[in-house]
A = this chain, B = another copy of it.
Amino acid sequence: MPTMKDVATLAGVSTATVSRALAVGGSGVSLDTRERVLDAVKELDYHPNHLPRNLRRRSSRIFGLVISDIGNPFFTAIARGCEDTAHMHGYRLVLANTDEDAEREASALEVMAAERAGGVMLASTDQATDPIRRLLAVGIPLVALDRRIHGLHVDTVTVDNEAASYDAICHLIALGHARIAMVGGPDTVSTVRERADGYLRALRSHRLDLGDELLRRGDLRESGGYRITVELLSLPAPPTAIFSANNLTTVGVLKALRERGVRVPSDLSLIGFDDLSTGELLDPPLTAVVQPAYQLGARAAELLLRRVENPEAPVQEIVLSAKLTVRGSTGPPPGPEE
């Protein structure tokens, strides 16, 4: 493992000169020396060690993306957006997965803080406040991605969950549904709260008061969707439509429906928040609120880049909109005499 010193010795210059010659642009060094340095680099097969550089500079050109579920295509699309944008500006992206677990999130953020990431994008469970403050204390820029962070005024990119959910429920109501259930998620997650808000507002504005029975909380995983659907179906008056607040949850809902022989949409209508990768392949194809996931990631990376360049820039909050894509899983409710 040759070091810069070895290169310097071979090229007959000082390490300072090597450092300058190897810097982007390579200015402040004569063409001649620069060439000698480059030759030495090649001959020794020297490759820089970023650790001391980051130590000295107190930051690195690596962005961290902390997401809550790497198995969720929504987040992987986000990751792509982040990565492409970061890459274009000379930053690399590393990912950390938290599995919707506050402890794992804390651990991931601690790593980013301890390793002095150049910046972090976070889809937060909103329960790991200490590590977030630490990150900020260490001077690492943070962007809230997809989910707001309670009580923290930082750059943010989100989707207008409330409006999209409102639209989705209105679509169901327009079809004639009156008993509409929602399979939600943990209340700590801002997106889930907003989706529930949209659901409730749509019901209220149409004077449909359903009580709490039909608004349920899952875990944003398949298992939660499955469990809740089974519960909903065994209600004395089961819903005629289900609004599923997350794509993985939707898979669980579908499995439960299929298992119980409930036909979609003739027996029950279904709308998913966020699409499935195989959404179009399902029979019937899934009616879903489609989110601009890639854009979400790309914009977050842009905000982070901006913040790195100018730590004093005013805080920016970007809200993108999601739109309802009506496919085959929604239809009128079953007739009373069927």
Which of B80, B139, B276, B280 contacts A1 (CB under 8 A)? B139
- Cβ distance A49 to chain B, nearest Cβ, rounded Å: 7
- A95-B70 contact, Cβ under 8 Å, with A278-B278, A281-B282: yes
CB pair A50–B95 under 8 Å, yes or no, is: no
A98 and B193 CA atoms in complex are apart in Å by: 34
Report the stretch among A24-32, A106-114, A165-173, A194-202 that lies at the interface. A106-114
Q: Does A311 lie at the interface of the complex (its beta carbon under 8 Å from any beta carbon of B)?
A: no
Which residues of A in the span 99-127 have a Cβ within 8 Å of any Cβ on B?
99, 107-108, 110-111, 113-116
Q: Does A211 lie at the interface of the complex (its beta carbon under 8 Å from any beta carbon of B)?
A: no
A96 and B94 CA atoms in complex are apart in Å by: 6
CB pair B97–A83 under 8 Å, yes or no, is: yes
Which residues of A in the span 30-85 have a Cβ within 8 Å of any Cβ on B?
45, 47-52, 54-55, 60, 62, 64, 70-71, 73, 76-77, 79-80, 83
Q: Does A337 lie at the interface of the complex (its beta carbon under 8 Å from any beta carbon of B)?
A: no
Q: Does A134 lie at the interface of the complex (its beta carbon under 8 Å from any beta carbon of B)?
A: yes
Q: Does A251 lie at the interface of the complex (its beta carbon under 8 Å from any beta carbon of B)?
A: yes
From A48, A55, A80, A137, residue with most partner B Cβ within 10 Å: A55
A269 and B308 CA atoms in complex are apart in Å by: 54
Which of B51, B96, B139, B281 contacts A254 (CB under 8 A)? B281
The residues of B that contact A283 with a CB separation of less than 8 Å are 282-283
The residues of B that contact A51 with a CB separation of less than 8 Å are 51, 54-55, 115-116
Which residues of A in the span 238-293 have a Cβ within 8 Å of any Cβ on B?
251, 254-255, 258, 276-278, 280-283
**Nearest B residue (CB) for A279:** B278
CB pair A60–B139 under 8 Å, yes or no, is: no
A33 and B28 CA atoms in complex are apart in Å by: 50
How often does this chain occur in the complex, in copies?
A: 2
CB pair A255–B282 under 8 Å, yes or no, is: no
**Nearest B residue (CB) for A111:** B92
CB pair B92–A95 under 8 Å, yes or no, is: no
- Contact flags A277-318 to B (C-beta < 8 A → 1, else 0): 110111100000000000000000000000000000000000
Which of B50, B94, B276 contacts A278 (CB under 8 A)? B276
Q: Does A210 lie at the interface of the complex (its beta carbon under 8 Å from any beta carbon of B)?
A: no
CB pair A115–B47 under 8 Å, yes or no, is: no
Which of B1, B45, B77, B251 contacts A281 (CB under 8 A)? B251
Q: Which residues of A pack against B, CB within 8 Å? A: 1, 45, 47-52, 54-55, 60, 62, 64, 70-71, 73, 76-77, 79-80, 83, 87, 92-97, 99, 107-108, 110-111, 113-116, 134, 137-139, 251, 254-255, 258, 276-278, 280-283
Q: Can you list 22 A-B contacts with CB-CB less than 8 angstroms, sorted by A residue number?
A: A47-B110, A49-B114, A50-B115, A51-B55, A51-B116, A70-B70, A70-B79, A70-B95, A71-B73, A71-B80, A76-B76, A79-B97, A80-B97, A92-B111, A94-B94, A94-B95, A251-B277, A251-B278, A258-B281, A277-B277, A282-B282, A283-B283
